[in-house]
Amino acid sequence: MDDTFYPGLENVIASETQISYLDVENEEIVIRGYDLMDLARNAKYLDLVALLLDGGFPTSERRNELEQKIKSEYELPVQLFSVLQLLPLNAHMMDVLRTGISALACFETNLDDRSVNANYQRAIRLLAKVPQIVANGYHAVRNEPLIQPRGDLTYTANFLYMITGQIPLPIEADVFDQCLMVYSEHEMPNSTFAARVIASTQSDMYGALTGAAASLKGNLHGGANEAVMNMLQLAGSEAELEALILEKLSRKERIMGFGHRVYMNKPDPRAMLMKEALAHLAKQKNELQLYDKCVVGEFVLKREKNLYPNLDYYAAPVFHLLGIPTELFTPVFLAARTVGISAHVLEQHENNRLFRPRVLYKGPRNLRPPQIV
């Protein structure tokens, strides 16, 4: 056994996959052979869903068929919201989402069927229902009226509509679709690894996604986007943001939205795409001050720490301008990533081996218990 210890499993190859790969040298996020940035600029989220689940880029007919299949699964058990309405008002929305996904498993038939077809159908159902749990879970814990899905809207527009209660403008729906795409899949982050570890025990897809939700809650993973927005809202101007960042750095605090385990010496390409989206959205909504403030923050971190923004830094203000409450930033992240995680669970179950790593023990040996009188 190789007893080399790699903290955080950094650069350790944990799986073989045909799903995605982060080619840092060439600044490309490969999704089944396609560049994710190319897809985000020229395709739609449901194209990416089909690519990840079917294994190939869909025709327009296949994409429409897939959308109708997802819409046919919109209905949620009424008992689910009875459960969520019992949660306290101050419940973290990732805990609400995690609870909803876990409870949803109780209504699944043939839960022990791990066949490709059964898992594929579960992935479709989760794509239909997770956005509803995100949106209406938020409304339920606040005793607000639930917003029913609208079949006349696109999948993406309906998701945003259920959150805000307003039919999105075309530019809002397009930007939100890009958001879902860039969050959809990213090789082997902590949440995906957690899901594959859980799936390797032959646990079901709901359990794997529930574990991924628990992982994504942490502010070193998905929760960073909420921290970014909180920081931006604390600073009323570009000068105030620079001062706030410098103060945090002087206290050796971590600035969320910057740095990445993989993109250490160059910008996250997803962040640059979201920066473009923010510029367009801010201009349309007359919120260019927010964009300018974000650019200053990016400049300060590069000057002071040579750090580049990651996806969360520019996605957070985009979500804000779309009318998404800050508490829902991370749940939306998980909803977008549901397709990627589902693809990984499918792949894990198709060619499974139980994850069982070892440790490098550094504790004492040969101790003896004291004699008991």
pLDDT at 228: 94
User: What's the pLDDT score for residue 218?
Assistant: 86
Contacts of 310 (CB under 8 A, 6+ apart): 224, 257, 258, 259, 260, 263, 268, 270, 271
Which residues have a Cβ under 8 Å from the Cβ of 157 and sit 6 or more positions away? 167, 168, 173, 176
Q: Tokens 């903290």, residue?
A: 7
pLDDT of residue 262: 67
Positions in the chain short of pLDDT 50: none
Does pTM surpass 0.75? Answer: yes
Alpha-carbon span 256 to 333, nearest angstrom: 16
- Which one is the CATH code of 20-218+327-350: 1.25.10.10, 1.10.580.10, 3.40.50.300, 3.50.50.60? 1.10.580.10
Q: What pLDDT sits at residue 315?
A: 96
The predicted pLDDT at position 58 comes to: 98
Provide the token pair at 73.
Answer: 């699964």
Residues for the chain: how many in total?
373
CA distance 340 to 337: 5
The whole-number pLDDT of residue 261 equals 64
Q: Which CATH number fits domain 223-322: 3.30.420.10, 1.10.230.10, 3.40.640.10, 3.30.365.10?
A: 1.10.230.10
Nearest residue to 138 via CA among 331, 350, 335, 334:
331
Residues with catalytic annotation? 260, 312
Sort residue 90 into left (φ over 0), alpha (ψ -120 to 50) or beta: alpha
pLDDT of residue 259: 80
The residue extents of the domains of the chain are: 20-218+327-350, 223-322
Q: Which residue has the tokens 């604390």?
A: 234
* E strands present in the chain: 20-23, 28-31, 34-35
pLDDT at site 77: 94
Which bin fits 143, alpha (ψ -120 to 50), beta or left (φ > 0)? left
Predicted confidence at residue 250, as pLDDT, reads 96
Decide if 31 contacts 20 (C-beta within 8 A): yes
The angle, 0 to 180 degrees and rounded to 10, between the axes of the packed helices 116-141 and 205-216 is 50
Q: Minimal CA–CA distance to 192: which of 220, 224, 214, 219? A: 214
20-218+327-350 and 223-322 agree in CATH topology: no
Specify the pLDDT at position 26: 83
pLDDT at 28: 87
